[in-house]
Amino acid sequence: MSVKLSVNVNKIATLRNARGGNTPNVVQVALDCERFGAEGITVHPRPDERHITRQDVMDLAKVVTTEYNIEGYPNDRFMELVLDVKPTQATLVPDPPGVLTSNAGWDTKKHLDQLKDLVSTFKSEGIRSAIFIDTDLQNIEYAAKSGVDRIELYTGPFAENYGDDPQKAISAYITAAELAAELGMEINAGHDLSLDNLRFFQENTPALKEVSIGHALISDALYFGLENTVQMYLRLLK
């Protein structure tokens, strides 16, 4: 089976917010991404609403027909929003409020009790759960203890080192994915995946189900056009 592409539309909201108004229209872009073949839409609302707003999350929930993934730090406001919208998937990210972008995974041993409670809450509402995580094997093991459905591997270090030595860059991800699959978890991935490195990552990571890509995809669309860019990414995954 091919790996699903979920398009993160945060950067569309960033561009809109820079000028005010509703251009570009986040909802329309999400619908277009689906029409062009994307199998999911991802948003990451932050407390300061510097890109995706609460209203965006609600508006998208009414129209997205593929998988809808909401990711973020599980403060009270985030949890209230997710439980109200009931997306396909909720991805827990350990970002403090002021962080620019997600750049680390959970310490799942330290936060096990919290993660167990969150995952249980999502399960009771029929929401698939995911935890943003690095390749540390202890973190993988404790993620499994939380009962989570999926992990999302933080691929920043892979992307950073890919140009120097692809095999070295992917090595820890192969081991982490194999262990996660053995422990009964499915695998997502995201952060700095691009047209340059995506195929290699997909071909070498066992049991990969979904990638979430925003910054690189939207940047590529400036040159190639959105429809063509979405389909270029899809071709790499299939």
pLDDT digits (tens, 9 = 90+) for 155-181: 999 999 999 999 999 999 999 999 999
**Sign of the alpha-carbon dihedral angle for 37, 190, 26, 87:** positive
The per-residue pLDDT of the chain, averaged, comes to: 95
User: What pLDDT digit, counting tens, does each position of 77-112 carry?
Assistant: 999 999 999 999 999 999 765 555 556 789 999 999
CB count in 10 Å sphere of residue 186: 17
Output the 3-class SS for the chain: CCCEEEEECHHHHHHHHHHCCCCCCHHHHHHHHHHCCCCEEEECCCCCCCCCCHHHHHHHHHHCCCEEEEEECCCHHHHHHHHHHCCCEEEECCCCCCCCCCCCCCCCCCCHHHHHHHHHHHHHCCCEEEEEECCCHHHHHHHHHCCCCEEEEECHHHHHHHCCCHHHHHHHHHHHHHHHHHCCCEEEEECCCCCCCHHHHHHHCCCEEEEEECHHHHHHHHHHCHHHHHHHHHHHHC
In degrees, rounded to 5, the angle at the alpha carbon of residue 132 between the alpha carbons of residues 95 and 82 is: 75
pTM here is 0.95
Nearest in space to 136 (alpha carbons), one of 176, 171, 180, 190: 176
- Which structure tokens are listed for 33? 């991404």
Looking at residue 96, its pLDDT comes to 64
The hierarchical CATH code for the domain 4-237 is 3.20.20.70
User: What pLDDT digit, counting tens, does each position of 120-147 carry?
Assistant: 999 999 999 999 999 999 999 999 999 9
Looking at residue 66, its pLDDT comes to 98
Q: Tell me how far apart the alpha carbons of residues 41 and 98 are, in angstroms, rounded to a whole number.
A: 24
Q: Where are the domains of the chain?
A: 4-237
Looking at residue 1, its pLDDT comes to 66
Looking at residue 47, its pLDDT comes to 85
Q: Which residues are catalytic?
A: 44, 71, 191
Pairing relation of β-strands 128-133 and 89-92? parallel
